[in-house]
Each structure stands twice: as C-alpha cells, then as structure tokens.
Amino acid sequence: MNIDARIDRRRRGDDGQRLVRDYTAIAPTAHADEPVDRGPTLERILDHLDPAFEGTIPPNAYVHGPAGSGKSAVVTALFDRLRRTSAETRTGIHTSTRAVPTTLPQFVRVDMRETTSAFGFYRAVLDGVVEESVPGHGVSTDELRDRLRETLTGTPGAVVAVDHVDDPEADDRPDPVELFAGLPSNASWLAVGRTPPAETSLSEYTATTLAVDRYRQQILVDILTSRASSGLARGALDHSLARRIAEWADGDAHDALTVLFVAAVRADREGGTRLSEADVNAAIAEMPEPCAALGRVLALQDNRRAVLRALVTLDEDERASVTETTEAIAADPDVDLSAGTVKRFLYELAEAGIIARVRAEEASGRGRPPSRVELRFPPTAFRRLDDLRE
C-alpha cells in the first residue's frame, strides 16, 4: 500500500466509530497499485518484456497459476504503469549504455471476462491504442481489425495483456488462439490464465511460460492487514482473525479478501466497530465450494445480474427446482424478463459455474428428480459490490 495514503488516513482521524471507511479498499475485485510479495514475478515479466525497452516487440508469453495467486494483480498494475510510461515519454527512456531515446510500444490490457466476442476483443485493443473513442456498433469486426492494423503500421507496435483467457464461459466464446492470430504482425500478447501450459494450446504459440505460485499464509496475512488498514477503522481487524482467514483461504487471495469483505459488511450492518470471530465465521460459512470469482459475476450483463439479484433473495424452498426458481424470479418486479428468458439465463449461468443445478437426493414420483439451484458465490459480497457499481 502507498505510504502517503497510510499517513493521510491517520491525519483524517477516526471519523467517529464508523467501521468501513472505504469498501473499494477491501473489495476482492480491486487490485492494489503495489501487489504484495510479487516482486520476483514482476521481475520475470519485466525480463520477458525487456525487448520493448529497446523498441522491439517481445515474443508471446503465458502467465499461469492457481486462482487467487495474484496474476491479475501483477499484470494489471504493471501494464497500467507501462501504458502511462509509453504515453508520457514518447521520446523514450535512457539507460547507462544508451543515450539515444527509444520510442516504446503501446501496452494494452484486455479482460476476457468483459470481452466475450471477437468484435469486443478487437474493439478493446483498438481502444487501448487510440485516443479517440471507438464505436461500439455500426462497424464490423473486420473493419476494427483493419483500423487496428493501420493504426499500428509504422509504429513500434503494441504488447497486449489478455487476462482470464480460460475462464469458463458460454460455448460460443471465441478461441483465444484465433483472436490472437488476428492481431497485427507488430503486436504480441501476454496471456494470463489458470490452465497449466501442458493443457492449453496457447503454449504452442509462446516463447515463454511464467508460473505464479499460491501465496504463503503469512503473505496473505499481510495482504489482509494492509487492506484492512486502508479500508477499515483503525484496529478493526485483529491479527489473530487475519491469521484465521489466511489459514482457511489456503493461499487464495480472492477468497481471503472475500471473507474479509463479507465479515466487514455484516459487522457494519450490525453497527459493530471491529470485526469479531462470529463475523469471520459467518463469512466463511457463506463461501461456497467451489467459489466463482466475483469479478466474473460482476462482469455479467445487466439483465443477467438482475436475475442473480433476484435469485439471492429467494429462500431454499423457492430454489427447490429450476422451474420454481424461474417462476419466482420472473415474478420479481425488478426483473423485466420473460420466464423463458430467465430459465435460459439460469442454464447459462450454471454452465459458467456461477450457479449450480444440484439434483435432489430424493425424487417424488416418477421421472427425473428436480434440480435445486445453489449459488456459487457469496450473496452478501455480490449484493454490496453490485450496489457499489451503481
């Protein structure tokens, strides 16, 4: 965390007894400007990108590691910084061995959670390399590709970081390899995903694969206390509770921060001034196994998030089957969708692992037993984060 921010927070004082100062600071979907304990990973990525500082495009690469290991945090922070450096210093940088300024390529980051079509992908890349706005409709995918190629012609090119390349989505999601093949010849990509290199075709087109390991427990404690120091009242998170969360999370920063976030929402709602063991235990109990990344859930289109907002308000009886769940959601006045559309969305969300259809253990009568609907994300975190988006 930034030292100036720590000092500024203390200068502002306690602001009464308010527990949560800044929900964004503790949100599991937000990345820190300076990721904790990822210096070696950052250096390895910079080593790979080193040709860019000489004015040439580095080869393709694949960054991989388990969920919650900080891959996105590192790549997001690095590419945001590199993009600003490239824009601000078009005359380049100097080194001890070279006094001649070098123009850097452009650095662009695309999140495949938010870009689920070829059109959206090339539009996001083009939007990252031009200053003017890029149309969201009225042009074809081929036109966007052509404009991207024309924009980069005669320049040092671009390096495109593509995050979440292997998140499970709908069947019609474009193949990342095909998307990357449509990039200009002076653009390379750095893909980020969970799949081991031996199990993805991406590794066939990369010169380098960079592994990111799970966080050690003490590092997770540091991440939790740093976030709590930034977003909660002073002393709100006891060190023993931070250790409890870190031990439970088993190296997954997303899950650890989600528990912190849910515990803070619960405590704040009850008027607490610090997190208690009961708050943390209740937050852990709310975490499903497996748990979908909240970033994926919040990246859904508005109508699908509306279905989920209605879904999290239903009790177990109303989720006893897909049909009952569909009827209850379609009857919600805030969901302006037909029952058929709601049911289709539920099946799509189940296919993506955001909800689950769990077959009932006992069937009444003949025929296939009904499938109850279960969440694969903590509802407290989803509701609060979705409210913050509004």
Q: For the segment 54-63, what is each residue's pLDDT rounded down to a tens digit?
A: 889 999 999 9
Average pLDDT over residues 91-97: 43
pLDDT tens profile 208-246 = 999 999 999 999 999 999 999 999 999 999 999 999 999
Assign 209 to helix, strand or coil: strand
Which residue would you say has higher pLDDT here, 167 or 75?
A: 75
Q: What is the pLDDT of residue 37?
A: 85
Give the residue from 45, 64, 71 showing the smallest Cα distance to 195.
64
Average pLDDT over residues 104-108: 93
Assign 373 to helix, strand or coil: strand
Cα separation, 337 vs 180, whole angstroms: 36
Q: What is the pLDDT of residue 116?
A: 80
Q: What is the pLDDT of residue 227?
A: 94
Average pLDDT over residues 105-128: 93
Residue 365 banded pLDDT, cuts 50, 70, 90 = low
Q: What is the pLDDT of residue 136?
A: 87
DSSP 8-state class, residue 210: E
> What is the percentage of the chain residues whose pLDDT exceeds 90?
75
Tell me the pLDDT of the chain averaged across its residues: 88
DSSP 8-state class, residue 369: P
Q: What is the pTM of this model?
A: 0.87
Residue 389 banded pLDDT, cuts 50, 70, 90 = confident
- 64-152-46 Cα angle (round to 5): 35
Return the minimum-mean-pLDDT range out of 166-175, 274-283, 296-305, 320-329. 166-175
Structure tokens at 7: 């000092």
